[in-house]
Amino acid sequence: MPEPAVHIAAVRKAFRTGGREVVALDGIDLDVAPGELVCLLGPSGCGKSTLLNAIAGFAPPTAGTVLANGRPVTGPGPDRAMVFQEYALFPWMTVEANVGFGLELRGEPRQVVREKVSALLRQLGLSDFRDRFPKDLSGGMRQRVAIARVLAIDPPMLLMDEPFGALDALTRRNLQDELLRLWAELGKTVVFVTHGIEEAIYLADRVVVMTYRPGRVKQIVPVKLPRPRDTASAEFNQLKRTVSQLVMEEQARHEQAERAATAD
Amino acid sequence: MRNGLGRLAKSLLVPTIVLVLWEALSRAGKISPAILPAPSQVVVRWWLYLAPAQAYDPSQESRLAWLFSGELPQDAAGSLSRVVVGFLIGGGIALPLGLLMGRKPIVYELMSPLLEILRPIPPIAYIPLSILWFGLGNPPAFFLISLGAFFPVLVNTIAGVRNVDAIYVRAAQNLGANEATLFRRVILPAAMPYILTGVRVGIGVAFIVVIVAEMTAVNKGLGYRILEAREFMWSDKIIAGMITIGLCGLGIDVLMNRLNRWLLRWHRGMES
């Protein structure tokens, strides 16, 4: 068996809020194979973003092991490029400068940067927007730029934190297909956080359903359906029922916990 | 077009009435010209103040130098250059210090007690000390002006750095930015809206301080000139000088606005 792209063992993450200790993650074990597309799914508060941030190196876990590409994660790095829900484009840079930023940091010659950026912009249908600032783009376009920005540095792994969560349904489907196309073409490992059940089943090789606080792996649901997947098919909906059932249990626990917290 | 003309007429209405009334009262001898000269007299005086004193002599100087050889252009250029130099010193120290204090809590904790004690002291209160330290002339003026510009730039830069959205920092680190690049390419531009606010306030303060400094320590410039005019009871020249000071301030403001708009053309609030 090849070395996993991500290896997570016995990861625990606790932090204090208002004098109380909150355990966001507890006893997480998870391996992601190279080239695999894995979705972390769960209600808000299940720690899926916390887990992604641990892989990204933004917030180290309290205990446990996180290996990325075989090496322990000690901080953020361009081998694990992150796409944020809020796009996080640099508003003072044009589209072209945003996409070229990672290459520039790497010290690539200007000519190489320009060529690579041009090719990526073409690939993602952004060529007409190269001189625009992010404020002049729609949400969908901004997220395309953000994807182009991480693809520019050609990372072996993409970490995506609810990247399409703020987009309308049509744009979201569009970008999901775009992501699948790029993923199939480039063979990158993708760890994708979402709270969308359909999105998870539409995209993932495996859906990791997480529990509400403390976040644990509740169940891993493999999705064997061939792509492109038909969201109206019987198999798809059977799977959706199964996953919904799992997620709704955790959602119910979430709501119960909130009610209890308000009652205090 | 009609609308524009109408608005122009409306905005000129009150100033015109005031000027006409003022002129009429002066001409009727109701106000002593030593107290408040007629506007027409101020304009004449302003022109005399502005125009070159000597006739143009090509053998002595260039046409441009001659055009600016009058007392007023010399004074204005002197005052403005003091503002620029003083501001560059004060702002030039405040900007890197503010970036560091905003980003590094340890620097902030070390520096802020001293700065908080000094900050409420108006720069003008440093005049006696500055003359004692630097004597008369430009050096005390530079000192006072840089002091006046320093705190607005510092305070706003700190606030700007602290308000940089953490997600930009994360995104940059994720793409491989080290601390130096982060400062230059992310934190500095992200804090720019705040910094420019500080620059604007700082230049405004510098402009006030330069006038006061010239009245006390410099013996040159616009501030000195209107104080000098008082000794001769030239109220017309005082007013002409004041108007010049106002015009210089307006000019600085217009330039700053342009600069602002260009530097922040990416900013959401700047959509026209």
Q: Please write the tens of the pLDDT for every residue from B6-32.
A: 899 999 999 999 999 999 988 888 888
What count of other Cβ atoms lies within 10 Å of the Cβ of residue B18?
11
**pLDDT tens-place string over residues B180-238:** 999 999 999 999 999 999 999 999 999 999 999 999 999 899 999 999 999 998 999 99
A92 touches chain B (CB under 8 A): yes
Residues in chain A: 264
Q: Which of B55 and A243 is assigned the larger pLDDT?
A: A243
Instruction: Write the DSSP symbol of residue B55.
Output: P
* Average pLDDT value for residue range B66-94: 93
pLDDT tens track, chain A, 264 positions: 578 999 999 999 998 888 888 899 999 999 999 999 999 999 887 899 999 999 999 999 999 999 999 999 999 999 999 999 999 999 999 999 999 999 999 999 999 999 999 999 999 999 999 999 999 999 999 999 999 999 999 999 999 999 999 899 999 999 999 999 999 999 999 999 999 999 999 999 999 999 998 899 999 999 999 999 999 999 999 999 999 999 999 988 888 888 888 876
B175: Cβ–Cβ under 8 A, 6 or more apart, which residues?
Answer: A78, A81, A101, A102, A105, A149, A150, A153
For chain A, strand residue ranges (E) read: 6-17, 20-32, 37-41, 63-68, 71-72, 80-83, 157-161, 189-194, 206-210, 217-222
B22-54 burial, b at 16+ Cβ within 10 Å, e below that, comes to beeebeeeeeeeeebbbbebbeebbeebbeeee
Looking at residue B272, its pLDDT comes to 41
DSSP H helix total and E strand total for chain B: 12, 0
Among B167, B265, B271, the residue with its CB nearest the CB of A84 is B167
Contact B271 A135 (CB under 8 A): yes
pLDDT bucket at B58, cuts 50 / 70 / 90: confident
CA distance B40 to B47: 11
For A33-155, strand residue ranges (E) read: 37-41, 63-68, 71-72, 80-83
Query: Which of A:120-139 have CB within 8 Å of B?
Result: 133-135
CA distance A130 to B45: 56
Please determine, for residue B271, whether its predicted confidence score (pLDDT) is greater than 60: no
Contact A90 B265 (CB under 8 A): no
CA distance B148 to B83: 10
Interface confidence, given as ipTM, is 0.90
Looking at residue B27, its pLDDT comes to 87
Q: Could you tell me if A221 and A243 are in contact, meaning their C-beta atoms sit under 8 angstroms apart?
A: yes
**pLDDT tens-place string over residues B99-141:** 999 999 999 999 999 999 999 999 999 999 999 999 999 999 9
Task: List Cα–Cα distances, A251 to A213, A258, B198, in angstroms.
Answer: 11, 11, 48
User: Sign of dihedral through CA atoms A198, A187, A60, A147?
Assistant: negative
Pairing state between β A189-194 and A157-161: parallel
B36: Cβ–Cβ under 8 A, 6 or more apart, which residues?
Answer: B22, B26, B235
Looking at residue B181, its pLDDT comes to 94
Burial group, residue B108, by CB count within 10 angstroms (0-12, 13-18, 19+): middle
Read off the pTM.
0.86
Question: From the CA of A93, how many Å to the nearest CA of chain B?
Answer: 7
Q: Which of B69 and A66 is assigned the larger pLDDT?
A: A66
Looking at residue A74, its pLDDT comes to 93
* Average pLDDT value for residue range B148-162: 97
Looking at residue B30, its pLDDT comes to 81
**pLDDT > 70: percent of chain B:** 98
CA distance B227 to B186: 47
Tell me which residue of A46, A236, A73 sits closest to A159, measured CA to CA.
A73
Contact A150 B170 (CB under 8 A): no
Residues in chain B with CB shorter than 8 Å from the CB of A158 are none
Residue of chain B whose Cα is closest to the Cα of A149: B175
User: Sign of dihedral through CA atoms A75, A78, A84, A90?
Assistant: positive
Question: From the CA of A238, how many Å to the nearest CA of chain B?
Answer: 38
Contact A153 B175 (CB under 8 A): yes
B191: Cβ–Cβ under 8 A, 6 or more apart, which residues?
Answer: B99, B102, B157, B160, B161, B163, B164
Looking at residue B59, its pLDDT comes to 81
Question: From the CA of B214, how many Å to the nearest CA of chain A?
Answer: 40
Q: Could you tell me if A180 and A39 are in contact, meaning their C-beta atoms sit under 8 angstroms apart?
A: no
Looking at residue B63, its pLDDT comes to 83
